[in-house]
Amino acid sequence: MCGITLLQPLSKSSIIHSDADEGVENLKSSADHPRPPLPIIENYSGVSIVFTEPITVNPSFSGDSADGTPSGYRASIASTCSNGSAEEAMNVNGKPTSPNATTEISSTVTTNTSAIQRSGEDGYTMDSLVCDAPASDRILNSNEQVVPNNNSKMSHNASANAITPNTNRLTPDLLPLVELTQDDIDKIVGQIEGGVTNIQDIYALSPFQDSIISQHITANKSDPHFDATLMSFDNRDILDCYLKAFQKVVDRHDITRTVFIWERLSTPVQIVLRQALLSVTELTLNLADGSISEQLKAIFNPLKYRIDLTQAPLIRFVIAQDYGGRWIAIQLMHHLICDRYSLTQIQSEIQAFSEGRGNTLPPPQPFRDFFAEVHSGPSLEDHEKHFTKTLGNIETSAPQCRFSDIDSNCTNTSESALVLPQELVNRLQDSANRMGVNLVEMCHLAWALVVARINGQEQVVIGTTSFRGMNYRSTARALGLSANILPLRIDIGNTSAEDSVRRIHADMEALRSHEHVTLALVQRYSNVPTGTPLFSSVLDYRQDMMPSNKTTSVSGIQLLDTMKSINHPLVVTVEDRDDEVILIAQTVCKFEPSRICAFIREGLHSLANALEHTSDTPIRELEILPAEEREMLIKSWNTIESTFPDHQCIHNLFESQVNQSPDSIAIVFQNQSLTYRQLNERANSLAHKLINLGVKPDTLVAICVERSLAVIIGILAILKAGGAYIPLDPAYASERLLDILSDASPSIILADNHGRNTIGEAALTSLTVLDPTAQIEGGQVTNPELESLTSHHLAYVIYTSGSTGRPKGVMVEHNQVTRLFDSTAGWYNFNKDD
């Protein structure tokens, strides 16, 4: 097994700059111009991309560092720096060199340590070590949250940025989009490499960014908010040109040069840097340890790896050479700076730069414009009015996986995808066009129907991410996190299918005005307890995505896979592409995501049928169970033939056991016991007395006896006499027992002293009362013979709890009980000892 070697990083003097501004040449193989051996800082026209030394990775290497770096790449300064001082071990060089708004800055961070031996159980050595900057004095504990200042009085406007390259000191008046003290500002400047000269802008967090930061803080070693994209490149030159084009995108858009700081500040902020170099790490992986792709996926799994949010760009590339000159790259990108729509725009711009069309791109839209528009949206009063109306009577959230175990750490994820039949999509689209709605509302209705059926609830709240700043002009060209997750209430009831679709359409239109409110604020307007999520499932509807073919528009590049971490038990993605519609279900439950997809497909199919033929069909009647599963449940699993003694009554089965083992113990209560023979004889004596009192098949006889041997004796006696017993628990309130007696109107009751006292003598005056605890002198002990009694006569009448009104009697026949016992005998193996 080889060790891991991390060589000394390069000094700033190794960086080569070029002021040329020509476009990136078309991607092509350049075998005639071989690359010099690493280490180098690649010289791209006008941009600099930092490449680290090649790293040889041990197969046991795993990327599970909590500080955002692979384990083994970095170690704490305190334990590795020879002088024990992080600050003294740091050597940071950087100053603005470019005359325009982009400042070229690089830094070298080294330690005084020249060699690190095997560390613990990690099994690797290092020639030298790159140390992170020291952590802040205060680390937020798991209970702390980043709380938005919803009462802020700051003036959110998109006025021109007052910070210029010549600004040498930042003050609160230069930062209209955030409320900071001078002390806050000085702390921020002190944490940015290059200081004031490398700060282009500072503003607060958008609502969704605020939520993500909170989750990032509370998640220990994982990060539920970044994606890993795996790509292959036919050769190294194509890869290098792709990275060069990506750096151009980083240079264009401020959000890609943004870092996030919250520790020791009065409010969390995002800081736009003037310049940020794309981080590219090259690994040397052994093909004998498996495919390069799978090794990279294992190392940089979002469930085990974290991106340092204080280092821009929040985009990382790790590359490794595959067989035949092919290269594999894994692209790590945090949601704080990019949503799926932004990613599509990034890919479009990369293609433009790769084809030499970079100068045709429109000027980039600053994310600060979008931020300012968001904070000038609806007031708190408007939010409160809307969400109080829609969620005010919601008291509990639906546990979408209540019949399964939910992985609270969201690490045991599974995923499944299903392509909707094009014929079904066309039918749904035709109905949507006729009604003036969209396919998105139909997908939400189908998913709500699934959630309702899973949980047995008709009032559900689901999360939706189907908005992306649609009310804001700045969203059109601004990269960044513009989407949000909002709660959408959908009631599944007697409303017709067509009216349900129209109602969801109206509700989603109303929700658009509040698309950037925080969930923490929304939760205040519901009755769901604090700490309990409003919803545990999310539907993410994505429109105008890339075609299903994973080959990119740039020749020589192929998309291999994407890895996404999720922070809800159920996430359903609908990818409405140009050529097809795909359902993707991700779960952290033990419930199969393939079944989730099948349920939604069937729900959409039922909805299409209803809208076309019976639009007044109540939505609750739509089917979600696939035909094959329905066939299996109703028919396939019910084809097993089973015989049971349907001609015998319950007491007949007991009498058969008496004949087989008369002297075996049949019943035990405290220190008392009866054999089968003794129990049978005492029950027979009482049964003959009941027969003499007029009991016959279907005669109702009440029994109110405290727990004792007499309970079983009395029940058997009533059954042997042909009657049906009505159990009355003397522990119940007398009012309940009197209601039952009034409703059933029995003429005979078996009651001991405790039962008589509970019911009261006044109620017993019209009844014949027998005490089953008393010995019957001279009674018959033989089994009664009743030719008219069959298994279809009543065995007992049991009353409901009455929680929804007066208790109601449920009549049960002998054959129903004997069939139940016969069907379950193979499970419980009943015998003479039971």
Averaged pLDDT in 10-residue chunks for the chain of 834 residues: 29 30 38 36 38 46 37 28 30 30 29 25 26 28 36 50 91 92 94 93 87 79 81 94 94 94 93 93 88 88 82 93 92 87 86 91 87 75 86 67 44 83 95 94 95 86 71 60 84 91 93 80 81 84 61 76 77 88 85 91 95 90 90 80 74 92 92 94 95 95 94 96 95 91 94 92 92 83 92 94 83 91 78 68
Distance CA 662, CA 682 (A): 13
Matching residue, tokens 């998640």: 219
Where are the domain boundaries for CATH 3.30.559.30 in the chain?
397-547+565-637
Chain region(s) in the chain for CATH 3.30.559.10 = 12-135+156-370
Q: What is the pLDDT of residue 379?
A: 80
What is the pLDDT at residue 398? 53
Burial of 291 (0-12, 13-18, 19+ CB in 10 A): middle
SS3 category, 50: strand
CA distances from 53 to 5, 40, 316, 330, 332 (A): 9, 8, 15, 17, 19
Angle between helical axes of 676-692 and 709-720 (0-180°, round to 10): 50
CATH topology for the 397-547+565-637 domain: Chloramphenicol Acetyltransferase (3.30.559)
CA-based nearest residue to 580, from 426, 699, 683? 426
Quickly tell me which residue has 């004031």 as its tokens. 196
pTM over 0.85: no
d(CA 411, CA 423): 36
Token pair for 382: 């408007």
CA quadruple 445, 446, 448, 449: dihedral sign:
positive
Contacts of 22-26 with CB under 8 Å at 24 or more apart are 22/46, 23/353, 23/356, 23/357, 23/358, 23/359, 24/241, 24/244, 24/245, 24/248, 24/353, 24/354, 24/356, 24/358, 25/241, 25/356, 26/354, 26/355, 26/356
Tokens read off for 422: 């094009």
Q: Which amino acid is it at 517? A: V
Q: What is the Cα–Cα distance from 398 to 391, expressed in whole angstroms?
A: 13
> Which pLDDT belongs to residue 467?
61
The whole-number pLDDT of residue 466 equals 62
Distance CA 834, CA 832 (A): 6
Measured CA distances, 538 to 266, 438, 451 (Å): 32, 19, 11
Instruction: Give the three-state DSSP class for 126.
Output: strand
Return the CATH fold of 650-828: Rossmann fold (3.40.50)
**Strand pairing partners for 727?**
703
The Cα–Cα gap between 440 and 610 comes to: 17
Exposure string for 596-632, b = 16+ CB within 10 A, e = fewer: bbbbbbbbbbbbbebbeeeeebbbeebbbbeeeeeee
User: Distance (Å, rounded) from C-alpha 109 to C-alpha 100?
Assistant: 26
pLDDT for 114 equals: 23
Query: Would you tell me which CATH number, out of the four given (3.30.1360.120, 3.30.559.10, 3.40.50.300, 3.40.50.2300), belongs to the domain 12-135+156-370?
Result: 3.30.559.10
